[in-house]
Amino acid sequence: MNKAKLRGFNRSLPMSLLRAREAVMKKFAPSLKEHNLSAQQWRVIRALKEEDGLDMSELSERCYLLMPSLSRIVQNLVVRGLVVRKLVEGDQRRSAIVITDEGIKLFNIIAPKSAERYEYIAEKFGPGKLELLYELLDELVEKIDE
């Protein structure tokens, strides 16, 4: 019988991924905080800027957010005037989340700062290594989600 040995806590994949996420988010958090946004709220705004008019389930999948969390986030963004809910044409039971002009303005303020952070990370880590990391992470997800 094969008894696999448990890796040390600091070398576990979940902990390594969390440490990497925290290190990356430290570079993005200040500009988000400056505009009173959480990382999850920014994710929603970015997703809607890229593909506007997503329903809640599409937005949940795109942003990797659970529906209860996404509902609270969207409600906050609606109150702030950054997104609105609109009924989906042809299906009055469904609504789509749409970014507003105010949301686009905020995106246009934060996006250049975000791009600068990506440049900094690529410069420190190496652009080739960063691209390889994206590829490896995509492959990891693909292989274990089969």
Task: Identify the CATH number of the domain in which residue 86 sits.
Answer: 1.10.10.10
pLDDT for position 77: 98
Q: 118 lies in which domain range?
A: 28-144
Per residue in 70-91, pLDDT tens? 999 999 999 999 999 988 777 7
- 33 inside domain: yes
Domain contains 19: no
Q: Lay out the sheet containing 54-55: strands in order across.
A: 54-55, 91-99, 83-88
3-state SS, residue 6: coil
Q: Give the integer Cα–Cα distance in Å for 89 and 87.
A: 6
Buried-state track 39-77, b at ≥16 Cβ within 10 A, e below 16: ebbbbbbbbbeeeeebebeebbebbebeeeebeebbebb
- Tally the domains of the chain: 1
Residue 130 lies in a domain: yes
Percent of the chain topping pLDDT 90? 81
Q: Is residue 7 part of a domain?
A: no
Residue 15 lies inside a defined structural domain of this protein: no
Whether 125 is in a domain gets the answer: yes
One digit per residue, the tens of pLDDT, for the chain of length 146 reads: 567 788 888 889 999 999 999 999 998 999 999 999 999 999 999 999 999 889 999 999 999 999 999 999 999 999 999 999 988 777 777 889 999 999 999 999 999 999 999 999 999 999 999 999 999 999 999 999 87
Q: Which amino acid is at 56?
A: M
Contacts of 54 (CB under 8 A, 6+ apart): 47, 48, 62, 96, 97
Residue 9 lies in a domain: no
